[in-house]
Structure 1
Amino acid sequence: MANLSSSYYFITSLILLSLFLLIRLLPGWLGFNAEVPDFTFSVLLLAVIILPLGLLLGLGFSWGTRFFLNDHNADVPRLANRAYLVETFGFFIASLAFNFWLVSFNAFALTLLSLIFSLFIGSLFIITNQNKIFKTAWLVLSLTVIGLGFYFLALSPAYEIKTANWRFPQETLIASRNSTWGNIAVTQRQNQFNFYEQGWLVSLARDFAASEELVHLPLLSQEAPKKILIIGNGLSGALLETLKYEQAAIYYAEPDPEFLPTVYDYLNAQTQKQLTSDRVNLINQDAIAYLKNSQEKFDFILLNLGQPTTYQINRFYTKQFFQLLNQRLTRDGVTAFSLPYHQENLANLFTNQYLTAIYQPFNETLKNNLLVAGQKLIFIGLKNDNFTYQASLAAEKFKDRNLATNFLSAEYVKYALTNERAKKLLQNFKNTRTSSNADLQPIAVIRQIINNTEIAQPLLSRLLNWILNFRWLLFAVLAILPLPLLYFVKKSSGQRPETKIKLIALGASSLSLVWEIIVIFIWQFTLGHIYKEISLIIALVMLGIFLANLQLYLKPVNKTRALKIYLLLSLILAMALFIFIAKADSLSQNFIKIILWLLAFIAGFLSGAIYPLANALYLEKKSVPQDETGRIYGLELIGGAVILIIFSLFLLPCCGLAMLTVYLIYWLGLLNFLIAIPRLPLPH
C-alpha cells in the first residue's frame, strides 16, 4: 500500500508539471501569438486539463479508502466516508490557503509548491516500506527533486517570466501580475510596449479616428461639459481627447483597478503626464460599484471597453447597467460606446443579431439615441429627450471649438451624422429577432462568439446560432433525456435495486459542482471580479461538504430517510435560488455577496450529505464492499462532467441563469420523485 500511495503522489507531481508546461506551450505552438485562443481550442484545452485531474481525483479517493481499509476490516461504508471526510477537509484548507495566501503567488511558484508538497507526502508513505534499497533510492530521488524545487522556487519570478513568455513567441514578456480580475501582462516588441488583460490585448496605439469620433461626436450635444467619466482604455486616445475640454474634470476608471499601477512605468511620457494631470481623477475600484455607491453625476460617460468578450465585460452592456448610466447622467448628459461592424456587409445576420442584443436594452433605457456608422458603430444615448442632432449645426459647433483633431473635421462630422449606413443598420435592428442582453442572461457574449467565428469556423458559428435560436428546444431535449433512465431503473429494480441508488448518486451527489457553477457565474455576472473569489466560494462549498459528512460520520442516522430529507431540502434551495435571481437587480452588491456566500455553504452542506448516504446505501449490500468504494465516487465525477458540459457550455450562455435554475429544479424534482416511488425500493 505504501508503494501504491507514494507512486500516486509521484504521478500527481508529474501530471501537474506536465499540465503547466502544456498550458504555457500549446497556444504558442498552434500559432496563437499572445491572443486568447478561439472557442474550439479553449474547450478542447479545458478537456485536456480536466480529464487527467479527474483521473487523479478518482484514483486518489479509491486508493485513499484502501489505506483506511488496510487497518480496519469492519464497517466499510463508514471508513469510505472517512476518506471522503479527509479529502473534503483538504480541499477546504487548500481553498482557504489560495484565497488568503497563495493567490499572490505566480503560476510557476504555485506549480512548484504543488510538486514539492506531492513528493513530500509520497516520501512519508515510502518511509514504511521494508525494502531498504528501494526506500533509500526513492528518498534520495524525492529529496533531490524537492531541493531543486526549492531552488527554482527562489528564482520563480524570473522563471515565471521565462515560461509565460512562451505564450508570446513574437514578443518579449517584461512583467506579469495576477490581480483580483485576472492576469495583467506587459510585453515588448522592438520599441513598442503591449499590454494584456486576461489574455486580451489592450490597444494603446493612438487610434486617432476612433478616439476622436467616440469623444467629440457625442459631446456635440453639450455646450461646456463639466464632468466626464471614462470607463476603460482611456490610454488609447480617449483620455487625451477629453482633456481638450479645458473646463472639464475627468474621472477615469479601469475595470481592473490594478491595471494602471502595473503598466504605468511602461507608458510614454505624454501618457504619464495625462494620468497625473490635476484634472484627472483615477478611480481605483470597479466602475459599476463606483457608480452604484457614488452620487456624482456626469455630463458625459464614455464606455470604452471594446466588445463583451467575457461575462465580466458583458455587465457593461446590459439593461441594468444602462439604467445605472441613466441615473448618473446630468439633465442634459450623454453617454456613448462603440462596437465593430461590417462596413461592407450591413446585412450580415450574425453581426446584426449581436448588435441588436445590445441595442435593444440600450434603446429601452435611453430612448433618445443615435447611431453613427463611422470607423466603428457608435451608440449615443441622451438623457434629454428633446435634444436632436442637426448635422449642419453640429458641424458648425465642432468647427467653433477648434479642438486640433487629426482626423475629425467639420465636413466629416456632417457626413457622419447623415450617412445612410446608420439608418440601414437601425432598420436591420428593428427587423432582427433576438433576446436582449442582461446581467443574468449574457446573450451578447455568445452572440459575439458566433459573430467572430463565422469566417474561421462557419460550421461552429451556425451550430451555436441554431442552439441559441432554438434554446427552448434544447431545454426540452435536456428535460427528456433523464426519462429513459427512470424507465431503465423501473425495469431493473426488481433484479438490481442498487441501480436506483446509482442514478440518485449520479444525479444528486454531483450537485456540489452545479452549485459552484451557479454561485461563481452569479458573482461574475453581478459583481465582476471573480478570480480571487473562486477559491473562497469553493472553500465555503467544501466546508459545507465537510461538516455534513462529519455530522453523518459522528451520528448514525436512518440513511434512506435522511437521503429523502436532503434531496427535498436541495429542491427547496433551488426554488429559493430562482426567487433570488428574479430579485437580484434590486439588491445591493454587499447583500448579494452575503447571499452567495450562504448559498455556497448551504449547497455544499446538502450535497455533502447526499454522497456519504448514497455511498453507504450502495456498499451495505455488496458482498465485497472493499472493491466497490470508488464506484459511487466515480459516478459523482461522471455526473459532474456531464453537468459541467450541459450547464456551462449550453444552458448558461444560451438560456441564462433563470432557465438553468429551472432545469436544476426539474432535475431535483425527478430525483425526489425517484426516491419516493415505493415500487422502486432502495437496496436495504
Structure 2
Amino acid sequence: YLPSSDRKALEDKRVNVHYLDGRLFVKRRKEKYDLVMVNLPDPCTAQLNRCYTREFFKEVRDILKDDGIVSLGISSKEAYLGEEMGDFNASIYYTLKDVFPNIVAIPGEYLLLFASPNERVLTYDDRILNKRFSERKIETDFLTPYHISYQFTPRKISYLLGALDEAKGAKKNFDFQPISYYYDIVLWASYFHPASRKLFASFTKLNVWRFASILAILVFILIFLSRKSPKIRRSFTPLAIATTGFAGITLEIVLILAFQVLYGYLYSRIGLIVALFMVGLTVGALLMIKQLPKIKRTLLILSRLEGVVAIYALLLPLFLIALSKVKGVYLYPLSQIVFPILVALTGLLVGLEFPLANKIYLKGQKVGKTAGLLYGVDLFGSCLGALLASVLLIPILGILQTCLIVSLFNLATFALLLSIPKVKKPSI
C-alpha cells in the first residue's frame, strides 16, 4: 500500500526498520544521533501525548549528539493564533524549550519546531541557512532558497513568537500531567461548539484543595442530618460503593496511562489489563463471600476497606513516579510484573466491598432491589470516574492530584460510615 518512492527508500541498505514502540526505542538506545524526527499526529490522545512531554524530550536529548537536532510539528495557524490554538502551541513550544536551549519555530498551518542542545546550531537568519543549503549541494524538488527566505520572513517570525509569548501562561506538558491533549480537546471543541470556550476555560482552574474544602463541608452536613434521619444513614452504604466504583475505574485508567508512558505497547496488553482487573474483582468478591458468615461488625469492616482504598490511592502515584525513574534493562521486566499486580490489586479492593455492602443494605429489603441498586450506583461511580479522569482530572491536575481526589472521596465515605452509631443489642 506504500507508494513506490517510499518502498524504494525502505529497501535502501542504509535503512534499518525497528518493529518497536518509538518511545521505548528511544529509552533503550545508547548510540548518539545527528537527527531525531518526531513524525506523529498531534497529541490528541493520551497515547500520542507521551511523545510530546518534557520527559520524552529529555530522553531524546540524551541520544542526540552535541550538535544534533530534534524536529517535530503540530497543527497551527500562520496568520492568526486564537486563544485555544495559542495555548495548544505554547504548551508544546515551552515544554520543548524547557529541555533544549536552542529552539527555532517556523510558522505555518503546521508549526515546525526544531531544537538542539547546541546554541550555535539553529538560527532564524535565512542568509546563513541558504548558505548552508548551497554548500551542502542537497538536491530537492520543492525546497529552494526562495522558500527558505519566505518561511523565515522576520514579520512572520516576530508575530509567531509574540503570540507564543502571550500564551506563556499555558501549562507545560508532562508524562503524569498530559495537559496538551486537553488543550487539543478544547481547540477542536472551539471549532464546533464556540459557546463551550468559557466552560473549558473554567475547568483549567480546577483546584484540589478547594474541592477538599467543599467535600469536607458536605461530609459534616451529612453527618449532622443523619443523626435524625435513618434514611440518610442508610444511604451511606450505596455512597461507599459509588466512591469505590469511581476509585476502581480511575485508578485503572491511571495505570493504563502509566503503562503507556513507561513501556509503550498497549494494544496487545489492554485485554490483559482489563482481564486482570476483572480477576481481581472476582477474587475479592469470593474472598469476602467466604468470610461473610464470620463478620459481625459489617459497617466497621466496610469503613476500613474504604480507608484502605484511600491509602492505596495515595501511595499508587508515588510508586509510579519512583518506577518512572527506572531505566535500562530493568524497565521491561518490572513493567511486565508490577503493572499486572497493581491492576489485579485494584480490582481486588473493589471486589471485597460489594458482597459486604449487599449484606449491610439487604436488611429489610428485597434481594433484587438491593443488588440492582448497589450495582447501579457502582456503575454510576465508574462511569463518572472514566469520564472525569480521562477528560479533565488527569490532563489538568495530573496523576498525583487525581489520585488525591480519589483518596478524598473514599476518606469522605470512610468518615460517613464511622459516624453511624452502633446498634445496641437489647439486654435480656
Task: After TM superposition, give the deviation of residue 286 of structure 1 in Å.
Answer: 0.5
1:416 aligns with 151
Contact 1:446–1:654, Cα closer than 8 Å, also in 2: yes
SS at match of 1:282: coil
Separation of aligned partners in 2, 1:395 and 1:668: 62
Q: How does 1:499-510 map to 2 (within 5 A)?
A: 499-510=235-246
Contact 2:238–2:377, Cα closer than 8 Å, also in 1: yes
Contact 1:500–1:682, Cα closer than 8 Å, also in 2: no
Moved more, 292-301 or 407-416: 407-416
Contact 1:326–1:383, Cα closer than 8 Å, also in 2: yes
Q: 1:545 to 1:479 in 2, by over 3 A?
A: farther
Per-residue deviation, residues 391-420 of structure 1 (Å, max 9, x unmatched) = 323212212333232222123323433432
Q: Does 1:613 align with 2:356?
A: yes
Q: How does 1:613-652 map to 2 (within 5 A)?
A: 613-619=356-362, 621-622=363-364, 624-625=366-367, 627-652=369-394
Task: After TM superposition, give the deviation of residue 462 of structure 1 in Å.
Answer: 3.8
Task: After TM superposition, give the deviation of residue 318 of structure 1 in Å.
Answer: 0.7
Amino acid at match of 2:95: P
2:417 aligns with 675
Separation of aligned partners in 2, 1:647 and 1:271: 40
Separation of aligned partners in 2, 1:284 and 1:625: 53
Contact 2:236–2:413, Cα closer than 8 Å, also in 1: no
1:463 aligns with 199
Q: Does 1:391 align with 2:132?
A: no
Task: After TM superposition, give the deviation of residue 509 of structure 1 in Å.
Answer: 4.8
**Max radius of gyration: which structure?**
1
Task: After TM superposition, give the deviation of residue 664 of structure 1 in Å.
Answer: 0.9
Q: 1:647 to 1:682 in 2, by over 3 A?
A: farther
SS at match of 1:424: helix
SS at match of 2:67: strand
Separation of aligned partners in 2, 1:683 and 1:665: 31
Amino acid at match of 2:308: L
Q: How does 1:482-561 map to 2 (within 5 A)?
A: 483-484=217-218, 487-488=221-222, 490-493=224-227, 494-496=229-231, 497-555=233-291, 556-558=293-295, 559-561=298-300
Per-residue deviation, residues 127-152 of structure 1 (Å, max 9, x unmatched) = xxxxxxxxxxxxxxxxxxxxxxxxxx
Compare relative contact order (CA 8 Å, sep 6+) and give the higher one, 1 or 2. Answer: 2
Q: 1:481 to 1:314 in 2, by over 3 A?
A: same
Contact 1:312–1:529, Cα closer than 8 Å, also in 2: no
Of residues 43, 61, 71, the one that matches 1:308 is 43
Percent pairwise identity: 23
RMSD: 2.6
Moved more, 475-484 or 431-440: 475-484
Separation of aligned partners in 2, 1:362 and 1:683: 64
Contact 1:315–1:526, Cα closer than 8 Å, also in 2: no
SS at match of 2:71: strand
Separation of aligned partners in 2, 1:417 and 1:356: 19
Q: How does 1:199-238 map to 2 (within 5 A)?
A: none
2:343 aligns with 600
Q: 1:676 to 1:478 in 2, by over 3 A?
A: closer
Amino acid at match of 2:354: Y
**Gap regions ≥5 residues in structure 2:** none
1:176 aligns with none
Contact 2:37–2:72, Cα closer than 8 Å, also in 1: yes
Amino acid at match of 1:672: F
Task: After TM superposition, give the deviation of residue 278 of structure 1 in Å.
Answer: 0.6
SS at match of 2:16: strand
Separation of aligned partners in 1, 2:414 and 2:106: 55
Amino acid at match of 1:658: L
TM-score by length of 1: 0.57
Of residues 306, 309, 325, the one that matches 1:570 is 309
2:94 aligns with 360
Q: 1:294 to 1:682 in 2, by over 3 A?
A: farther
1:429 aligns with 164
Separation of aligned partners in 2, 1:575 and 1:354: 30
Separation of aligned partners in 2, 1:407 and 1:490: 74
Task: After TM superposition, give the deviation of residue 444 of structure 1 in Å.
Answer: 0.9
Per-residue deviation, residues 520-546 of structure 1 (Å, max 9, x unmatched) = 232234433323322211221222222
Per-residue deviation, residues 216-236 of structure 1 (Å, max 9, x unmatched) = xxxxxxxxxxxxxxxxxxxxx
TM-score by length of 2: 0.88
Task: After TM superposition, give the deviation of residue 625 of structure 1 in Å.
Answer: 4.1
Q: 1:287 to 1:510 in 2, by over 3 A?
A: closer
Separation of aligned partners in 1, 2:260 and 2:226: 43
Per-residue deviation, residues 560-613 of structure 1 (Å, max 9, x unmatched) = 343233222212211211312443541344334433222111111111111111
SS at match of 1:317: coil
Q: 1:375 to 1:627 in 2, by over 3 A?
A: closer
Equivalent pairs counted in the alignment come to 414
Separation of aligned partners in 2, 1:414 and 1:644: 49
1:290 aligns with 25
Separation of aligned partners in 2, 1:434 and 1:633: 41
2:318 aligns with 579
Contact 2:182–2:392, Cα closer than 8 Å, also in 1: no
Per-residue deviation, residues 348-400 of structure 1 (Å, max 9, x unmatched) = 22111111111112001001111222563221111223335343232122123
Per-residue deviation, residues 79-132 of structure 1 (Å, max 9, x unmatched) = xxxxxxxxxxxxxxxxxxxxxxxxxxxxxxxxxxxxxxxxxxxxxxxxxxxxxx
